[in-house]
Amino acid sequence: MLLLATSTFLQVLFGSMIAVAVAILWFAAVADVVRRSGSGLKIAGVLVLILVVPVLGPLLYFAFRRPEPTSPEGIHMAQEELRREAARRPVGGTGLYR
């Protein structure tokens, strides 16, 4: 009887450790998606991937996401690219190009 109780305890302990690790992975991935700015459809798609595919979704997200610029030059270049993209977008109207 003691062997059964020990094995059940270890199974529950091991299962709980895996569940906590997966929950932390989910939370970190969702927080990172929300923290980074992007379009609503892109965020929704990534969140569906993360939440529907339990372990593989967050791992794929962290493996294939774009890295953040860390050097001052990289940050400046990223900001300039955002300004150029914003300048190219039409303001008002239908949003259709000529």
Residue 17: the pLDDT is 92
Q: Which of 22, 25, 17, 39 shows the shortest CA–CA distance to 85?
A: 39
The answer as to whether 62 is a domain residue is yes
b/e 41-51 (16+ beta carbons within 10 angstroms → b): eeeeebbebbe
Q: Identify the domain containing residue 62 by its residue range.
A: 2-88
Our count of domains for the chain comes to 1
Residue 51 lies in a domain: yes
Note whether residue 28 is domain-resident.
yes
Centroid of chain to Cα 84: 26
**pLDDT of amino acid 40:** 80
pTM of the model: 0.59
97 domain residue, yes or no: no
Domain annotation covers residue 73: yes
The tens digit of pLDDT for each residue in 21-79 reads 989 999 999 998 888 867 788 888 888 888 888 788 898 888 888 777 677 887 888 88
pLDDT of residue 20 exceeding 90, the answer is: yes
What DSSP designation does 54 have? T
